[in-house]
Amino acid sequence: MADSEDEPQEAKKAKVDRTSRSTYESVDWSICIFCQKKKYKGVKELISVASFDSCQAIVDAAIACDDQRLLLNIKGVDLIAKEAKYHGKCRSKYVRRAEENFECRDDCTTTQNVRELAWFLLRLNRKNVLKANDTYGEQSVSGWSAFNAEMSSITLPRTVIGYCPMIAGSPTEYSTIYTVLKTVQEMSKHLQQNTAVITFDLAIYSKEKEIHWCYPEEFQNLSATEQQQQLKRRKRPICCFVTPPTVNVIETFQVLGQVHRDDSPSPRMIPYFFAMDRMNYSRWLPVYIMDTRNLQEKALDVYNEFLRGNHTVSRSTSQSFNQVWTDMALEQSINLDSKAKGGIIGITQRPSALQKWFLTAHERTATTTATKRIIDLDESTRSTHKESSKVRVQRDENDIKKVIHTLQTVMSNPFDEDAYREDVPLMNLATGVVMPEEISEQLIDAQCLGEARMKLFVSKRINTNEVGFWEPMEKMNIKTFASLSKKAKVKSVDEKLVTVSADRNLFGRLLIASRSRDIDLREVLKYELDSVPCAL
């Protein structure tokens, strides 16, 4: 029956509230929250929502899909406490649909984006928005990590960190890598564990792949799949999943919980490796990216654990938003506790002593960790985030001011609207050097050129055997600003060699002069500013 127009607004609101409550109370948390079934396409396994990231991803996806039914069921509900469940395939399909909707809706923003914007605005307008006092000086809003820690209310269980015996050998030796793989297989069998995870860097990962290719019978079911993550900007870890007798290698993505996504950071970086002639990354990243695409079929248990958020390490139970990558946890625990002044060289070079050091390293580091915990020196027991202290907030603010000052006084400030009212050619912000148009066009198109080369590599060397995987790769030789200031050696009058290079101090003086005088720096930099012509 339709509502009467004369019905009081309070009655209408009460009716809506009763409807919402009845819908919420009727939710069956023992079935998939997406398909509302216990079995999906023959798959009976249901995954429990076990992390804040997973909860947030579900909410964001529901908002992007404008799924009122799901939003009504999960709004204001602690999915972890309710032990909400879903099928892995259902979640993947739902998230992909949400991503498609997100691309079509310019006004759609996720909760994380809103939080990022809130943090940004608070730092810019601290006194006006918060009416804060001056006890913290000019800035009282903490850095990004501390801000998210304060905003998050989810505290995950502490990860147990064990110390395994060390192998006295080079980590890049084939024999060492082979020993690690076999040892982890035996450990998995002993623990009755289906899957184990090993963290490798790219140098070790590539050799592990060679071992697999050379001994296919010994590792019949080896599936190499390539995060973050994390590469280059810095090395990203590679994770190897060892399932006796199967070994699955997969890259740890910067967003490992969404390893199935086509828009992950790593795939988007690959074209730049090809464009900048980084041959090692160009050769291997496509290999484990393609293997990663098959993770759900090759290692479903690993895939499901990643969706649960079990791909990071939490070293504290007193703080939230504190999980780190396995490689970072390694540096903060095992490597930190086992280091000695001067390293191995500072201890001794006698073979027998070195052997003792390797054999006892894991026991000594475990003892160090236990001792720190007993005397309360373990940072994992901190109740506050280290970036939220008054001293740290002020130090970060001073560092930001230094960066801004450098941009405004020393470099070509890219945020100065008055200086760039006209079309400006490609310019080096640090030196002021202008790149010639014929070279700059190729550099600007580096992503497209690298993507074309990447597709050619995948189609001819991975998808087919048209070209051997180990055949030399042709360089693209795209010119960068570094190529404009190459050093050259010429003979002076007294027959001595003189190194000629770009004078950065000269460029700096020109930049400063251009601010106080009527000088067109682009016109000046068209000429050679060297004591000897570069052509020589």
Asked whether the predicted pLDDT for residue 424 surpasses 60, the reply is: yes
Residue 447 pLDDT: 86
- Give the H or E element holding residue 18: helix 9-25
Residue 24 pLDDT: 40
Q: Mean pLDDT score of the chain, rounded to an integer? A: 72
Q: Which of 42-46, 89-93, 343-347 has the lowest mean pLDDT?
A: 343-347
Task: Count the neighbouring beta carbons within 10 Å of the beta carbon of residue 248.
Answer: 24
Asked whether the predicted pLDDT for residue 263 surpasses 50, the reply is: no
Q: How far apart are the first and last CA of the chain?
A: 92
- DSSP secondary structure code for residue 147 in this structure: H
Rounded (5°) CA angle 434-436-441: 110
| pTM across the whole model | 0.62
Are the C-beta atoms of 446 and 272 separated by less than 8 Å?
A: yes
Asked whether the predicted pLDDT for residue 425 surpasses 50, the reply is: yes
Q: Measure the CA–CA gap between 313 and 309, rounded to whole angstroms.
A: 10
Q: Which of 230-239, 383-392, 482-491 has the lowest mean pLDDT?
A: 230-239
Output 441 or 8, whichever has higher pLDDT.
Answer: 441
Residue 227 pLDDT: 40
Q: Which of 64-73, 126-135, 417-426 has the lowest mean pLDDT?
A: 126-135
Residue 475 pLDDT: 93
Are the C-beta atoms of 325 and 228 separated by less than 8 Å?
A: yes
Are the C-beta atoms of 46 and 100 separated by less than 8 Å?
A: no
- Give the H or E element holding residue 498: strand 497-500
Q: How would you classify the pairing of strands 246-251 and 223-224?
A: parallel
Q: Measure the CA–CA gap between 54 and 60, rounded to whole angstroms.
A: 10
Asked whether the predicted pLDDT for residue 253 surpasses 60, the reply is: no
If you average pLDDT over residues 506-535, what whole number do you get? 63
Residue 476 pLDDT: 92
Asked whether the predicted pLDDT for residue 457 surpasses 90, the reply is: yes
Residue 262 pLDDT: 46
Q: Measure the CA–CA gap between 84 and 177, rounded to whole angstroms.
A: 40
Q: By C-alpha distance, which of 48, 84, 102 is closest to 307?
A: 48
Token code pair at residue 477? 């030789």
Q: Which of 8-22, 81-95, 176-190 has the lowest mean pLDDT?
A: 8-22
Q: Which of 130-139, 218-227, 400-409 has the lowest mean pLDDT?
A: 218-227
Q: Which of 306-320, 371-385, 396-410, 498-512 has the lowest mean pLDDT?
A: 498-512
Q: Measure the CA–CA gap between 203 and 172, rounded to whole angstroms.
A: 7
Residue type, 414: P
Model confidence over 486-504: pLDDT tens digits? Answer: 665 555 555 555 555 545 4
What confidence category does residue 360 fall into, taking pLDDT thresholds of 50, 70 and 90? confident
Q: How would you classify the pairing of strands 246-251 and 196-200?
A: unpaired
Residue type, 201: D
Task: Count the neighbouring beta carbons within 10 Å of the beta carbon of residue 500.
Answer: 16
